[in-house]
Structure 1
Amino acid sequence: MSTPNKDIGKVEVRIKWDPSPHGEPDIDLDIIAATYRAEEPYGSPAYLVHFDSRSPDGTITLNRDSRTGQGFGFDEVMTIELDRLADRYGRVVVGVAIQQRGGRKTFGEVGSTVVQIREGYTNLVEDDFAGVGPSTAAVVGEFSRTGSGPWVFRADVRGFDADPDAFAAVMGNRVSGA
């Protein structure tokens, strides 16, 4: 969707992918959420939520963490309660990174990848990472607000060539023209 969605309350970020072929190293995709202070929306993140963790105030929780892509439905799920996030935070950037433990893997090499960001039963974004196939990490969306105003969502699928740690440090950088 190209039009921003306004007054977002609570969302669920979900990813799924096919497990690696028999005998190959496991493929592990991770959802990462970076929260930024209102007064410094493009500075360093105030905190990150990823790898089986949750935010200090409990508003962002990784509910399901898969290290293999095995299972039915979505393999990894994160809940973001924007309506409970303190006014001191003005931006949340959501991304997906591929762990690089078993050798370099890109989205183009991972089968049946899908990311969804949903509010209730409404998909705010759904993407298969085809547009960022050569990348090892990707931003998938951004939530922002001014002051205590309503949260606005912007779909923003853009790829990075970075491991999860390096990606977490740059995923919220300003996009040229933004």
Structure 2
Amino acid sequence: MTSSLNKGVGKVQVTLRWDPSPAGAPDHDLDIIAAVYPQEDPHGTPVYLVHFGSRSPDGTITLDRDSRTGQGFGSDEVMTLELERLSPAYGRVVVGVAIQQGGGRVAFADVAGGQVAVKEGYQELDNLPLADLGPATAATIAEFTRADGGTGGWRWSRSLRGFDADPRSFTELMGGAAD
């Protein structure tokens, strides 16, 4: 599935929600992570990461809401990506979700009500129940690539790949080429 917009995608929101852990169980803490890759090496080492407690150096990617428990109404985490403002030096952005493993191993299948959505304005590009990722503890969910060698608009595609990795390890794996 890829974007069919002629001008490409511009400003995108990735939203994440999940239900709180059962009473007496450790909190489930899920995090949205974005990795930005250079135009000349789109599957190499990311130039920078955006996650809880950080934002992109130029302010184009921000985590607007961060939850450690899944409590509350609506989206628990929200990340905004202003792709049209990214420097032409960047050619690929990969967005994923990772589960903190501080309270013992937790997989997506263990998290009730988990849902991730990708939206541009009012248009929903994708919506995915996290339980579909089963035993994975981290997953890529979206990939944005710049068309025409850095001069064109951004294209969106679903990039659903599950990993058995903690958040730190995941950031080293998430941008690799798909098998």
- TM-score normalised by structure 2 residue count: 0.95
CA distance in 1, matches of 2:37, 2:2: 23
How do 1:133-148 residues align onto structure 2 when only pairs under 5 Å count? 133-145=134-146, 146-148=149-151
1:32 aligns with 2:18: no
| Structure 1 residue 10 displacement after superposition | 0.3
SS of the equivalent of 2:151 reads coil
Task: Give 2:3's aligned residue.
Answer: 4
- Taking only aligned residues, the RMSD between alpha carbons, in angstroms, comes to 0.9
| Structure 1 residue 157 displacement after superposition | 1.4
Unaligned 5+ segments in structure 1 are none
| Structure 1 residue 118 displacement after superposition | 0.3
What is the letter of the counterpart of residue 3 of structure 2? P
Task: Give 1:114's aligned residue.
Answer: 115
Query: Conserved in 2, the CA contact under 8 Å of 1:92 and 1:144?
Result: yes
| Structure 1 residue 66 displacement after superposition | 0.2
Q: Output one character per residue of 1:50-69: Cα deviation in whole Å (capped at 9) or x when no partner.
A: 01321000000000000000
After superposition, the Cα gap between the structure-2 partners of 1:127 and 1:168, relative to the gap in structure 1 and judged at 3 Å, is: same
Query: Conserved in 2, the CA contact under 8 Å of 1:52 and 1:64?
Result: no
SS of the equivalent of 2:175 reads coil
How do 1:88-127 residues align onto structure 2 when only pairs under 5 Å count? 88-127=89-128
Query: Conserved in 2, the CA contact under 8 Å of 1:8 and 1:150?
Result: yes
What is the letter of the counterpart of residue 112 of structure 1? G
SS of the equivalent of 1:167 reads helix
Q: Which runs of 4+ in 1 moved over 3 A?
A: 3-6
Query: Conserved in 1, the CA contact under 8 Å of 2:2 and 2:155?
Result: no
Q: Output one character per residue of 1:106-157: Cα deviation in whole Å (capped at 9) or x when no partner.
A: 0000000000010001111100023311100010010001312110001121
The size of the alignment, in residue pairs, is 175
| Structure 1 residue 4 displacement after superposition | 3.4
| Structure 1 residue 22 displacement after superposition | 1.1
Task: Give 2:17's aligned residue.
Answer: 16
1:83 aligns with 2:66: no
Task: Give 2:169's aligned residue.
Answer: 166
Query: Conserved in 2, the CA contact under 8 Å of 1:5 and 1:154?
Result: no
CA distance in 2, matches of 1:144, 1:96: 19
CA distance in 2, matches of 1:101, 1:147: 39
- TM-score normalised by structure 1 residue count: 0.96
What is the letter of the counterpart of residue 165 of structure 1? R
